[in-house]
Chains A and B, each alone.
Chain A
Amino acid sequence: MATIQNKEQIAEVSKKLKKEQRTLAFRRIRSNYGLLIGASVLAILIILAVFGPMLSPYDPYEMKVVERLSEPGGAHVLGTDEFGRDLMTRLLYGARVSLGVGLAVALISSSLGLIIGVYAAYYRTLDHILMRICDGLIAIPGILLAIALMAALGASALNVIIALTIVFTPNIARVVRSSALVVREQTFIEAMQAQGASATRIIWLHIVPNTLSPLLVQATFVFAEAIISEAALSFLGAGIPAPEPSWGNILQASKLVIFKAWWMVVFPGAAVVLSVLSLNLLGDGLRDLLDPRVKQKQSK
């Protein structure tokens, strides 16, 4: 009888604790303005990218020579480009490409980096080989490596994703590995090994969950970096090929008409800055949220 009561009590206490924890977490999120602003702006951008193209009355590829380089306002809210295509429509379609490439790179390089990082942390020999490869790839300046890879692979959205994944995976692998190493050294891992738990079980059930918060923070920054890199590559003519719109290749086109059409520089540029800024805020906010030690250290 007593034990049942105890169990109930424990259940009640733990329920209360969980609730308290949740309100605490909620309060921390609410007081974290950077996180809130970053997340909301990003959400708006993603909604625009997903639904915006459906709302636009224009075709992003339809050229109207008569309307070329019309100023913003009137029928074309953000003006038209050098072929008379509606800039707003092209920016919305471009958002799909630019944000899509960024997200794809962030997701794929996080997954690969996670696998490489945790296995490197667990197996010493593998660690030496994998980390030397990562060190080597990190040593090559990212944008140059991406340019060289694009030169070999050829310009296309898929190849941009492949090239940038090769550039960013080593960084993520390093971050994951360093937090996985901390977990790996702990006594409970040794205990599990002594009990005969398999490596796969230890890695995926115990090490991986402990590396997820730094991974999430890092993935947010990679998302931002990938958007910048895609824009730079496309701007340099080694990224997404025309006529498919991306923020970077609209900027590339804008350089040729910079004397006549300021709107072709300002609006796609603002789109890049806004998305990168919101991701950086989100990343900083997530870091404060998931690793409160950093914040305490900073505010000292």
Chain B
Amino acid sequence: MLAYITKRLLSLIPVLAVVSIAIFLIIHLTPGNPAAAILGMEASQEDIERLNEELGLNRPIVEQYTSWIANVLRGDLGDSIFMHQPVSEAIAEHMLPTLSLAILAQIIAVVLAIPFGIIAAYKRGSLADYSLTGLSLLGMALPSFLLGLFLMLFVGVKLQWLPVAGYAPLSSGFWEHLKYLILPGISLGTIQAALITRMTRSSMLEVLNLNFIKTARSKGLHEMKVLFKYAFRSAFLPILTVIGQTFGTLVTGAVVVESIFNIPGLGQLILNSIARRDFAVIQGVVLVVTLMYVTINLLVDLLYGAVDPRVRLDRKK
């Protein structure tokens, strides 16, 4: 197991190196001089030179990268030119709403998807199966920001059950906090629910055909017991992987959904920075979210390896 962990950790190094280089290089894709782009049309030549000096943009590119990455490794993501505060501080301030939303979406997805998937597999070929499979197909074709808009229109504007947009921090009470997150949570969770439903269905189907299920049934066990105690437990591992992998996607997806519902999370932070060309913030957010994404996937892999020893052997190849 230790060898497996070490191997997985080592394999991350080149990935993270490439990630950091790519994120670093983004600012240099700007046509013309980045400093001029940041300052806008009315900037004087002197201002541009000064900013160039400040950002180190006039040094050779390799030198720029090494000093940038050295700072990043120390946890210093630079300063936001417009907010006059360190990027790491701004990210920390905007992290909580994003995480809250991602977690709620995950809960919604799991609570819906697992029963749906089990029913679809158990009643295979029935109307319930077809409608659930069809729904999950639709769910996967429905981008979360679009579902968000639809929900906002029907539940927020027409029915007025829930607030259309906005955010209340956890400190203003749990229900207040949740009220604003339900619609965004459903918008974000649906696509994951669709994925998990499909995975649950196919994983259950595979298990339900195995001999030990027939044995359990012929012993006269109650169907519920067969389904949950026997079949679901064996089918759970692949489902768990999908859940873990989708959590990474949820954090990213939250960034987009937030902007629809005016939730002050990482998404709003990065979008506000686009118009201002606040590259330090953009690079910082992309880097932090990527790190979270990679870490979550690593944890899922390790967990998987811990639960199922075959995985550790398989991947040695």
Decide if B274 is an interface residue (CB 8 Å cutoff). yes
Q: How far is the CA of A255 from the CA of B286 in the complex (A)?
A: 26
Decide if A97 is an interface residue (CB 8 Å cutoff). no
Q: How far is the CA of A152 from the CA of B256 in the complex (A)?
A: 18
Residue of A nearest to B255 (CB): A144
- The majority secondary structure among interface residues of chain A is helix
* Residues of the A chain whose Cβ atoms lie less than 8 Å from the Cβ of B283: 148
Size of the chain A interface, CB-CB below 8 angstroms: 45
Instruction: Establish whether residues A136 and B22, one from each chain, have CB atoms under 8 Å apart when the complex forms.
Output: yes
Instruction: Establish whether residues B153 and A136, one from each chain, have CB atoms under 8 Å apart when the complex forms.
Output: no
A145-164 near B? 1/0 per residue, CB < 8 Å: 10111111110000000000
* Residues of the B chain whose Cβ atoms lie less than 8 Å from the Cβ of A273: 138, 141-142, 146
Residue of A nearest to B19 (CB): A136
Decide if B279 is an interface residue (CB 8 Å cutoff). yes
CB < 8 Å neighbour of A238 from B21, B29, B271: B271
Decide if B88 is an interface residue (CB 8 Å cutoff). no
* Residues of the A chain whose Cβ atoms lie less than 8 Å from the Cβ of B138: 273, 277
B248-263 near A? 1/0 per residue, CB < 8 Å: 1101110110011000
* Most chain A C-beta atoms within 10 Å of own C-beta, residue among B138, B153, B248, B249: B153
Instruction: Establish whether residues B149 and A140, one from each chain, have CB atoms under 8 Å apart when the complex forms.
Output: no
Q: How far is the CA of A235 from the CA of B142 in the complex (A)?
A: 15
Decide if A236 is an interface residue (CB 8 Å cutoff). yes
**With A132-B18, A135-B18, A141-B252 in contact, is A148–B282 under 8 Å at CB?**
yes
Q: How far is the CA of A34 from the CA of B152 in the complex (A)?
A: 31
Q: B135 → chain A, closest Cβ, in Å? A: 12
CB < 8 Å neighbour of B149 from A137, A224, A251: A251
Instruction: Establish whether residues B141 and A140, one from each chain, have CB atoms under 8 Å apart when the complex forms.
Output: no
* Most chain B C-beta atoms within 10 Å of own C-beta, residue among A133, A147, A265, A281: A147
Instruction: Establish whether residues A151 and B279, one from each chain, have CB atoms under 8 Å apart when the complex forms.
Output: yes
Q: B191 → chain A, closest Cβ, in Å? A: 10
Decide if A139 is an interface residue (CB 8 Å cutoff). yes
Q: Which of B239-282 contact A (CB under 8 A)?
A: 248-249, 251-253, 255-256, 259-260, 270-271, 273-275, 277, 279, 282
Decide if A300 is an interface residue (CB 8 Å cutoff). yes
Decide if B289 is an interface residue (CB 8 Å cutoff). yes
Decide if B215 is an interface residue (CB 8 Å cutoff). no
- The majority secondary structure among interface residues of chain B is helix
Instruction: Establish whether residues A139 and B15, one from each chain, have CB atoms under 8 Å apart when the complex forms.
Output: yes
Q: B99 → chain A, closest Cβ, in Å? A: 15
Instruction: Establish whether residues B29 and A152, one from each chain, have CB atoms under 8 Å apart when the complex forms.
Output: yes
Instruction: Establish whether residues A136 and B14, one from each chain, have CB atoms under 8 Å apart when the complex forms.
Output: yes
* Residues of the B chain whose Cβ atoms lie less than 8 Å from the Cβ of A237: 271, 274-275
**With A152-B26, A235-B145 in contact, is A137–B157 under 8 Å at CB?**
no
**With A139-B290, A143-B252, A151-B282 in contact, is A265–B145 under 8 Å at CB?**
no
CB < 8 Å neighbour of B26 from A148, A154, A236: A148
Instruction: Establish whether residues A258 and B286, one from each chain, have CB atoms under 8 Å apart when the complex forms.
Output: no
Q: A30 → chain B, closest Cβ, in Å? A: 21
Decide if B52 is an interface residue (CB 8 Å cutoff). no
* Residues of the A chain whose Cβ atoms lie less than 8 Å from the Cβ of B81: none
Instruction: Establish whether residues A135 and B157, one from each chain, have CB atoms under 8 Å apart when the complex forms.
Output: no
Residues of A within 8 A of B (CB): 132-133, 135-137, 139-145, 147-154, 224, 228, 231-232, 235-238, 251, 254-255, 258-259, 262, 265-266, 269, 272-273, 276-277, 280-281, 298, 300
The 4 closest A-B pairs by CB, nearest first: A136-B18, A141-B252, A277-B141, A152-B29
29 sampled A-B residue pairs with Cβ under 8 A = A132-B15, A136-B17, A136-B19, A136-B21, A136-B22, A139-B18, A139-B290, A139-B293, A141-B251, A141-B290, A143-B255, A144-B285, A148-B26, A148-B270, A151-B26, A151-B273, A228-B143, A231-B146, A235-B145, A238-B274, A251-B145, A262-B153, A262-B157, A265-B149, A266-B150, A269-B149, A272-B143, A273-B146, A276-B143
Identify 15 new A-B residue pairs, CB closer than 8 A, beyond the known A154-B30, A237-B274. Answer: A135-B15, A135-B18, A144-B290, A145-B22, A151-B277, A154-B31, A224-B141, A238-B274, A255-B260, A262-B153, A265-B153, A273-B142, A273-B146, A276-B143, A277-B138
